[in-house]
Structure 1
Amino acid sequence: MEKFKGALVVGFLRLFALLPWRAVQAVGAAIGWLMWKLPNGSRRIASINLSKCFPELDGAAHDRLLRRTLMDTGRTITESACAWIWPAHKSIGLIRQVEGLEILQAALASGKGVVVVATHLGNWEILNHYFCSLCKPVIFYRPPKLKAVDELLQKQRVQMGNRVAASTKEGILSVIKEVRKGGVVGIPADPEPSRSSGVFVPFCATQALTSKFVPGMLAGGKAVGVFANAIRLEDGSGFKAIFEAAPEAMYSSEAETSAAAMSQVVEKYVRAYPSQYMWTMKRFKKRPEGESRWY
């Protein structure tokens, strides 16, 4: 049954990848519109997250943002299908604008290990190809449940000569070793960690359990941190890649100080492009002591 499900999912991904880019966007938006119109788990989770993170919104504003969010989520799904199937250079061609490239270049020339911090904002799959065209990093990722999809992603994500490391004990060690020897790694900042691996810090009007992984690698200036995002352009023609240097506080030896600084940068981009964040993920499953569960 798992093989059948995997083959079915991969088949749908290949179908999306056959469409012209404007159709990819239109189909994704239509999927998102249906997610907004029809009762489903993704709509429920996104609505809860938005109500907690943007409590200042009234009912009408909340619903408008929820609608835009789910339509952008649909676009991310179909766009990512293309990034997983297309040759990497075709995805890279969708990067129409670049801001802060000199920041990444300076980090790469520093002689230290470089930790590029990504988030589930815009389209991280397109970003991955572009980033890997600039250097040869190790990309840290959480494997999907379906083996066929995992095998596809492992193959597609290394087209530029980079490597991938799954979020296992072995993968974590390989990423740490890469940074220590002066290499480059790409790590998502926002998947929720275990309680022992994270600290609660402020994020969009709430507290979010945030990983100590990146702070631990940057502590004391052992490595250089750079944020990276690929933001969807309003005209739908492609994306703008943005690189930003990690703030000084992220190099603190105190994990909570560093994690809070990292969360502040993530929040800045989320507030700037709120509908492009993946609010459909259960980002806030674990809550501070005494606070009830959201989901």
Structure 2
Amino acid sequence: MLTRLFSLPAVALLWLLHFLPLSLLTPLGRALGALLYRVGGQRRKIAETNLALCFPELSAVDRNNLAKMHFAQLGRSMLERSIFWWGSRERIERTVRVVGEEKIRAELAAGKPVILMAPHFLGLDAGGVAITMRFNIVSIYSEQTNPVFNQVLLKGRSRFGDQLLLSRQDGARATVKAMKSGRPFYYLPDLNPRRRDAVFVPFFGIQTATITGLPRLARAAGATVLSCVTRMLPGSAGYEVHIGDAWTDFPGTDPVADAARMNAWIEAEIRTMPSQYYWVHRRFKTRPPGEPRPY
């Protein structure tokens, strides 16, 4: 959605907005989200379909309210991204709090490669920039179709430290090498993959196409997996990044079981803040053979 809105005038406007305090930027973002809910028919329908699939126990009214809350927070994340792309280090440090970074440092000090598993919550970019202010990381970069957005995104994600952004074409070997050299891997595990790259395991009770990249990379690098979840705080309180404890007995002997474990964990995190997951994404687009697509 953000990609389609980007142009040079939009970038200029977003740059100007980053000078506003959060007390003004946050309500502006919520207002933008309310507008997008009204005019963004296709994305609204995707979000409503996802919420109906994942929360059948909720009434239609409750799901509608959840969708509206999601779009309000989506609009907020879009405008507040300007802080992370152009704001000063001092301002970002005031805006984003990181809890548990000592867990990353302890693993690195012990010579262990680290994977930071960061699901697609709306605060993902806030968490990413906060991590890059503290560590030189490696992450996988997807080329964007909008060249303006592509350039701004690249610069925004590499403005602090010495960050290594690899394309998907660079492959797993380059990622493993970077992890073994001491770079934490900021890994986004929950996009809809192509069927040939996926296994189907439960996610909110739905057989969902899921890549087995997390266990494969953890095994190849001998890496510790730490969760990295960014939460948007109420009002204009900013963001909190929480680094979880190291996953035990991971990876196991069965990559399909490992993928199911990952999905179960992501689902549990979503249930703690259901409006903040990236519901405008077609998470259930790839279906098992013979199943219709829901979108």
TM-score (norm 2): 0.90
- C-alpha distance in 2, partners of 1:110/1:163? 22
What SS is found at the alignment partner of 1:200? strand
| Counterpart position of 1:53 | 54
Match of 2:82?
Answer: 81
Confirm whether residue 123 of structure 1 aligns to residue 115 of structure 2.
no
Count the aligned residue pairs: 292
Contact 1:49/1:279 (8 A) holds in 2? yes
Alignment partner, residue 272 of structure 1: 272
Deviations 1:187-226 (Å, cap 9, x if unpaired)?
1111222222221121123222112222101138811111
Contact 1:201 1:210 in 2 (8 A): yes
User: 2-side partners of 1:72 and 1:224: how far apart?
Assistant: 32
Q: 1:293 matched to which residue of 2?
A: 293
Q: How far apart are the structure 1 equivalents of 2:170 and 2:10?
A: 28
Call closer, same or farther: CA 1:258–1:246 in 2, change over 3 Å: farther
Q: 1:46/1:5 Cα in 2 relative to 1: closer, same or farther (>3 Å)?
A: closer
Which residue type is aligned with residue 264 of structure 1? Answer: A
Give SS of 1:14's match.
helix
Unaligned ranges ≥5, structure 1: none
CA distance in 2, matches of 1:257, 1:247: 14
Task: Map 1:254-273; keep pairs closer than 5 Å.
Answer: 254-273=254-273
Whole-angstrom CA distance in 2 between matches of 1:43 and 1:64? 12
Residue 141 of structure 1 contacts residue 188 of structure 1 at CA under 8 Å; is this kept in 2? Answer: no
Partner Cα distance (2:241, 2:125) in 1:
12
Q: Is the 8 A contact 1:198 1:211 kept in 2?
A: yes
Q: Residues 52 and 247 from structure 1, CA distance in 2 versus in 1: closer, same or farther, beyond 3 angstroms? A: same
For 1:201 and 1:100, how far apart are their aligned partners in 2?
Answer: 30
Partner of 1:91: 92
Q: Which moved more, 1:167-176 or 1:181-190?
A: 167-176
User: What's the secondary structure of 1:269's corresponding residue?
Assistant: helix
In 2, Cα distance between equivalents of 1:191 and 1:8:
30
Deviation at 1:43, TM superposition (A): 0.8
Do residues 247 (structure 1) and 247 (structure 2) align? yes
1:235 equivalent to 2:268? Answer no
By how many angstroms is 1:6 displaced? Answer: 3.7
Q: Deviations over 1:14-40 (max 9, x none)?
A: 133232212211111011112333461
Aligned to 2:169: 169
Deviation for aligned residue 1:246: 4.6
Residues 141 and 187 in structure 1, CA contact (< 8 A), matched pair in contact too: no
Q: C-alpha separation between the residues in 1 aligned to 2:240 and 2:55?
A: 25
Quick one: structure 1 residues 49 and 39, their matched pair in 2 at CA, closer, same or farther if it must change by over 3 Å? same
- Amino acid aligned to 1:266: I
Q: How much does 1:179 deviate?
A: 2.1
Q: Decide whether aligned partners of structure 1 residues 249 and 74 sit closer, same or farther in structure 2, where only a CA change above 3 A counts.
A: farther
Question: Is residue 94–residue 238 contact of structure 1 (8 Å, CA) maintained in 2?
Answer: yes
Give the conservation status (yes or no) of the 8 Å contact 1:115–1:224: yes
Do the aligned partners of residues 89 and 141 (structure 1) sit closer, same or farther apart at CA in structure 2, a change above 3 Å counting?
farther
The CA distance in 2 between the partners of 1:44 and 1:249, in whole Å, is 39
1:264 deviates by: 1.6
1:203 partner letter: F
- SS of the equivalent of 1:250 reads coil
Give the distance between the partners of 1:70 and 1:187, measured in 2 at CA.
24
Name the CA distance, whole Å, in 1 between partners of 2:176 and 2:27. 41
Which stretches in structure 2 are left out of the alignment for 5+ residues?
none
Residue 281 of structure 1 is matched in structure 2 by 281
TM-score by length of 1: 0.90
Cα displacement (A) at 1:171? 5.5
Please report how far the alpha carbon of residue 137 of structure 1 lies from its aligned counterpart in structure 2 after TM superposition.
0.7
Go from structure 1 to structure 2 and tell me whether the alpha carbon gap of 1:192 and 1:39 turns closer, same or farther (over 3 Å shift).
closer
SS of the residue 2:243 aligns to: strand
Aligned runs of 1:1-295 on 2, under 5 Å?
Answer: 6-38=7-39, 40-96=41-97, 98-170=98-170, 172-219=172-219, 222-295=222-295
Local SS of the residue matching 1:120: coil
| 1:165–1:174 CA contact under 8 A, matched in 2 | no
Structure 1 residues 87 and 149 mapped into 2: Cα distance closer, same or farther (>3 Å)? farther
**Shift of the alpha carbon at 1:231?**
0.4
